[in-house]
Chain A
Amino acid sequence: KNEVEQSPQNLTAQEGEFITINCSYSVGISALHWLQQHPGGGIVSLFMLSSGKKKHGRLIATINIQEKHSSLHITASHPRDSAVYICAWVGGSQGNLIFGKGTKLSVKP
């Protein structure tokens, strides 16, 4: 049973568009992670959120703990943003992550 739901599963955008990826979860959590998986397969941590909003360059992540929802926004999207974006929360006392299935983003020039 996957307790993390992401939407959309696939997203195609034109360069320059504003992108939003959503993540909903069914259990109470204290923090949520956003990760990026490049076409070559490598996985990179983008954000860890426990409340509010974080920004890094053109990426913005928000979380509403009460509503059990988080969003990842990409402003002025670029083809190099094409990747799979994954949200995950810490499901165990030793820090193991419970992952969503990911959102595959393709940004066309």
Chain B
Amino acid sequence: DIQMTQSPSSLSASVGDRVTITCRTSQSISNYLNWYQHKPGKAPKLLIYASSDLQSGVPSRFRGSGSGTDFSLTISSLQPDDFATYYCQQSYSGPATFGQGTKVEVK
């Protein structure tokens, strides 16, 4: 199975900060990388698919980039609604696998 390594596992930030989360895969996955936002007690939400395509209805402050084995999710200006846990997920081969998550907390 393809292994996913997300970093950091958590971060503290303030409203208005630029935040970047990285995801590295154990083998090249082209652009088969997706990002999800998850809040406690809520349904996870697709933010970015195919590495850089913004899901309909997702604010443009979310940006995904990367290909091969290195990917990133950037929130250009953190908003109060963005405090959550973020997961990357690969769909290139084998079972879908997720990163361990990055919890974005209030500084």
Are A and B interaction partners?
no
